[in-house]
Amino acid sequence: MAQFIADRRDVDFVLHDQFGVSNLSKHEKFAEFNKKTVDLIVNEARNLAIKEILPTRKIGDEVGVKFENGQITVPEEFKKAWEIYKEGEWLAMPEDLEYGGQGMPRLLSMAANDYFNGANYAFMMYPGLTHGAGKLVEEFGTEKQKKLFLKKMYTGEWTGTMLLTEAEAGSDVGLLTTSAKKNDDGTYSITGAKIFISSGEHDMSDNIIHPVLARIEDAPAGTKGISLFLVPKYRVNDDGSMGEFNDVVCTGIEEKLGIHGNSTCSLTLGGKGECIGTLLGEENKGMRAMFLMMNEARLLVGLQGFSCATSAYLYALNYARERIQGKNLLQMMDKDAPAVPIINHPDVRRMLITMKAYVEGMRSLLYYVAYLDDLIVVSDNDDEKERLHGLIDILIPIAKGYVTDRSFEVCSHAMQVYGGYGYIKEYPVEQLLRDCRITMIYEGTNGIQAMDLLGRKLGMKKGKLVMDLMVEIQKTITKAKGVAGLEEYAAKIEASVNKLGEVAMHLGKTAMSEKVLSAFAFASPFLEAAGDVILSWMLLWRAAAAAPQIEKKPKDASFYKGQVKSLEFFASSVIPISMGKMDAILNTNGAAVDIEDASFGG
Amino acid sequence: MEILVCVKRVPDTSENEIEVGSDGQDIDRDDLVYSVNEWDNYAVEEAIQIVDKVGGKVTVVTVGDDESEEVLRREMAMGANEGILLSDDAFESSDGKGIAAILKAAVEKGSYDLIMTGAQADAGAGQVGGMLAAMLDQPYASLVNSIEVIDDKKLKVGREIEGGNQEMNEIQMPCVLSIQTGINEPRYVGIRGIRKVASVDIPVLGASDLGIDSGSVGNAGASVKVQDYFVPVFGDGAEMLEGSTEEIIDKLIELLKAQGGLK
């Protein structure tokens, strides 16, 4: 069946069978979101994504954004999709009704965003950044800032960005030099130059609202002296109307490998000394604000990468079913044997099941992190809320780092299934592979995600986060052991979880020893191994939900059987490799650290 | 104006691969994604636009199983005011005439100035609108691609006819119109609309509620039955005539004469 973004059956399975999304409607806050509403929302998100957003994906790539005379234009086709998206009020799905949101469970908004991002995530970065900027205003803004900006942002009338990076302040944001000078009226004059600003300038909205990191005069050096400001492209009068141009000038855009539909801008603030911002939150607490928003931003990037993977998998699957090439291996010697669809070839099947298992596991993981947020909302127990927060904190580096790494691999497998056609622009997977690549870099490179996991999350609350996660995984293992046919795989996964615990202890200790550098040289392998184990947990969870349905629902039997096969494949063919990866981590060989710089050659 | 729009839940053609089932009696329906029939969706949009202009109410109705309720709710989220589900085991496997008879019974339970159907649905017969009009003894226009309200008794309707032409008619209400795609640009359904209809109860009417004799509809009452579904095999020998229209006509006449089709 020819779907091109996300397998609807799979989306429904995760929402209903795995996480029981409509149970959330028992809580007053989500009362409206019963099963019928959930299904309608997914239907309509899918409908809009396929009919209006998907057709912009190739155009966005080929036409791209244009920069002329300081103005940026997006492809004309983006504008219609943008208007319909705004009219449908899809921008702030989980947010408060009061500010233009829809009060929807985050889990459900993930499903809608799965379709939207899968259709064209470069386009979806305009509302995505707007949403993130809106969240900053919602969390840290004064009543006045909320009144002036929030609803206009959550409804998409004005869009938003995030101005962190400067030429000399990338991963090390503490080096930034953009300055803020306090004026008599309490506002600040902002001066500086920012780069790599996604959606930084475009012609889809009248005003663009930039949250900007800058240093107030005489503030401490490094991250401790950074404050957050709200800087609109056009000033906003007290009555909400737009005022004068605020001296935020786009000086150029980047030519990138992918996401050509999104404008990646260089912005000069206050080049004429006329850029005014208002403080968002407290002075010198800008980084704290950033950190609070980071989980959501990183989860979104995980979803962006994943959206390329899910789409690439479906294209490859459809192609493998249609492309006729080569005889069936069992009929190789028969000169009259007909050529068969390439899905019959074992190596193609290996790639397809690899993609399938990763895509399914990653979808579950991303939705799960969103679901944890909903569980926080419906819980009235502070300890439980804190536990759930901890689970989110420890899973975020996996949901961003591991998911985007694997997503790129899935895109590469998809290209391989297409053969030479995968490498040319006539077919869609080369764009997906290019678009996917940036998700491994921005919003904290995947190396930084690995350091976050090892250096921060592992030791948080004396290891409680890891322990809580292990407990959750063990619950699924115990349940799956009671499901006929899954015992063997549950046992394999249990062994890998235990080994991961051992590895975490070892690496945590090594990071406190004189071998600290060697430990961090294994941060990425550790993220990868942890990701494998967590993915296998998700596949086990899915199979445990699917296996009992095989007999009960013959119509869906092939889907449910497919879940057990994904688990079987992963537990039998991937987890043994993960065990080997973990052996390597336990060795913590020091070659990468010990090798002399000169010995790298060159 | 009271408007009734007849809608149907059908496989969504935008992302489905339709294949004939192994028994040759139907398409393979496992794993298909369903949505509202495209033509019907244009009809609902047109009804909403008319009511926006002249006031009144739009009711959507469908014949189907429990799952068909979702298309009614969807069209209500789009802006229709009410929905009615006509559902009964006795309705299963109705032919076009059976569906029209069920709809007729539903129409007679209300008071509608205008009834709209899509020009056709998944079965492709395009027959329900015309049959319904005949059973109700109301005037009927097919393939309608424009509607203008003249007064509360009359409409001016355009019909799509051959050669890209449009035929304009006046039609007395109550009447039945079957709507062609392209008559408007149907709006998308947003979250607000969905939330509005989330908890609305949609009445379900069965054969006895409608006063229908179970034997007259469904499989029992069907005069048309599916014998076989198959994908035609590619033939050969087709020849594409090229050139200006005159040249093509000349060649065609020549060919027809040569083959004995024209004397």
* B189 lies within 8 A of chain A by CB: yes
Residue B15 confidence class, pLDDT cut points 50, 70, 90: low
* CATH class assigned to A2-154: mainly alpha
**CA gap A482, A547 in Å, rounded:** 11
pLDDT, tens digit, 9 for 90 and up, residues A78-99: 999 999 999 999 999 999 888 8
Alpha-carbon torsion, ordered A472, A476, A482, A486, to 10 deg: -150
At residue B229, the pLDDT reads 85
A87 CB neighbours in chain B (<8 A) are 187-188, 190
Nearest Cβ partner of B77 from A9, A40, A90?
A: A40
> Do B188 and A36 count as a contact with CB atoms less than 8 A apart?
no
* B196 lies within 8 A of chain A by CB: no
What domains appear along chain B, each with residue ranges and CATH number? Answer: 2-221 (3.40.50.620)
Residue B96: burial class (beta carbons within 10 Å; 0-12, 13-18, 19+): buried
The arithmetic mean of pLDDT across residues A270-296, rounded, is: 93
Residue A302 confidence class, pLDDT cut points 50, 70, 90: very high
Helices A429-437 and A286-322: crossing angle, nearest 10°?
A: 160
The arithmetic mean of pLDDT across residues A112-127, rounded, is: 98
pLDDT, tens digit, 9 for 90 and up, residues A473-488: 999 999 999 999 999 9
**CA gap A261, A59 in Å, rounded:** 8
Q: How far does A132 lie from chain B, in Å, by closest CA?
A: 20
Give the CATH number of domain A159-285.
2.40.110.20
**CA gap B181, B141 in Å, rounded:** 15
pLDDT, tens digit, 9 for 90 and up, residues A11-55: 999 999 999 999 999 999 999 999 999 999 999 999 999 999 999
In this predicted structure, the answer to whether residue A501 has a pLDDT above a threshold of 90 is yes
In this predicted structure, the answer to whether residue A312 has a pLDDT above a threshold of 90 is yes
The three-state secondary structure class of A327 is strand
Domain boundaries, given as residue ranges, for chain A: 2-154, 159-285, 455-592
pLDDT, tens digit, 9 for 90 and up, residues A366-403: 999 999 999 999 999 999 999 999 999 999 999 999 99
At residue B27, the pLDDT reads 84
Handedness of CA A414, A416, A421, A423 (dihedral sign): positive
Catalytic, out of A95, A138, A430, A443:
A443
At residue A1, the pLDDT reads 45
Nearest Cβ partner of B30 from A32, A44, A555?
A: A555
The three-state secondary structure class of B146 is strand
* B28 lies within 8 A of chain A by CB: no
* B198 lies within 8 A of chain A by CB: yes
B77 CB neighbours in chain A (<8 A) are 40, 44
**CA gap A491, A485 in Å, rounded:** 12
At residue A290, the pLDDT reads 85
Higher pLDDT, B55 or B242: B55
**CA gap B124, B256 in Å, rounded:** 31
Under 8 Å between Cβ of B7 and B71: yes
A556 CB neighbours in chain B (<8 A) are 30-31
Q: How far does A581 lie from chain B, in Å, by closest CA?
A: 38
Residue B138 confidence class, pLDDT cut points 50, 70, 90: very high
A166: annotated active-site residue: no
B74 CB neighbours in chain A (<8 A) are 40, 43-44
Nearest Cβ partner of A40 from B14, B32, B70?
A: B70
pLDDT, tens digit, 9 for 90 and up, residues A134-192: 999 999 999 999 999 999 999 999 999 999 999 999 989 999 999 999 999 999 999 99
Kindly state the percentage of chain A with pLDDT values over 70.
Answer: 100
The arithmetic mean of pLDDT across residues A564-590, rounded, is: 98
pLDDT, tens digit, 9 for 90 and up, residues A413-442: 999 999 999 999 999 999 999 999 999 999
Q: Please tell me which residue of chain B has the smallest CA distance to A52.
A: B188
**CA gap A212, B16 in Å, rounded:** 46
Closest of A300, A328, A351 to residue A93, by C-alpha: A300
Closest of B176, B148, B182 to residue B50, by C-alpha: B148
Rounded to a whole number of angstroms, the distance between the first and last alpha carbons of chain B is: 56
Closest of A5, A6, A2 to residue A14, by C-alpha: A6
The arithmetic mean of pLDDT across residues A560-570, rounded, is: 98
Residue B94 confidence class, pLDDT cut points 50, 70, 90: very high
Residue B228 confidence class, pLDDT cut points 50, 70, 90: confident
ipTM rounded to 2 decimals: 0.83
